[in-house]
Amino acid sequence: MILRLLAIGMVIALNNFAVSLALGAIGTEKRWRIIVIFGIFEFTIPLIGLLIGQSLAGYISAAMDWLVPVLLVLIGVAVIWESFRFGRDDQKLADMTSSWGGLILLAAGLGIDNLFVGFSLGLAGAHPFLLATAIATCSVTFTAIGLQIGHVSRRHWESRTEFIAGAGLVFVAFAVWQGWI
């Protein structure tokens, strides 16, 4: 289960990494604020999903063998789909991070996939604290790295990283289904 949580944490963190690359590239000066807010959301949102999943697990226990991988695949495909979106507005992204409210909305938006990952792992009986800690630790680390790389490189690699994150979720779903992790 630890290997599964770390794999999912790393894959989920790629979304934060992608946004952090863009934020670093546009030169945001609020790095610590971004890291702290992302970390708080990346810890709490999967917990909410996990608690919902655990509360519903008894009702849908017959479908658990296929439902967890299917949910992870759906999230992965949605992230891949999002990676092909063009016309990102970097100035809008920069404006969002300049206020607490905008940064919280950005973090909440990034956490939507974490809600569903937490839900699907709640169905599988994952330990809440371990799940939240794995996702938050990976996300905070990847956010800090992304901000630094983006700041240094000033390139926009966000869509490529989102594609890799979606493909990683699909792979993790397959690995879970096969019993590898």
* Digit-coded pLDDT (tens) for 68-97: 778 778 777 877 777 676 555 556 666 667
Q: Look at residue 61 and tell me whether its pLDDT is greater than 90.
A: no
Q: Which pLDDT score is estimated for 159?
A: 65
With b for 16 or more beta-carbon neighbours within 10 A and e for fewer, the 8-17 pattern comes to: bbbbbbbbbb
Please state at what angle helix 112-123 crosses helix 64-83, rounded to 10 degrees. Answer: 170
Distance (Å, rounded) from C-alpha 124 to C-alpha 72?
A: 12
> By residue range, what is the domain housing residue 66?
2-178
Q: Look at residue 43 and tell me whether its pLDDT is greater than 90.
A: yes
Element (H, E) at 21: helix 2-25
* Digit-coded pLDDT (tens) for 140-172: 999 999 888 888 776 555 667 777 777 877 887
Report the 10 Å Cβ neighbour count for 62: 8
Domain count across the chain: 1
| Length of the chain in terms of residues written | 181
Work out the average pLDDT over 29-40: 87
Element (H, E) at 169: helix 158-178
Distance (Å, rounded) from C-alpha 46 to C-alpha 28?
A: 27
What pTM was computed for the model?
A: 0.69
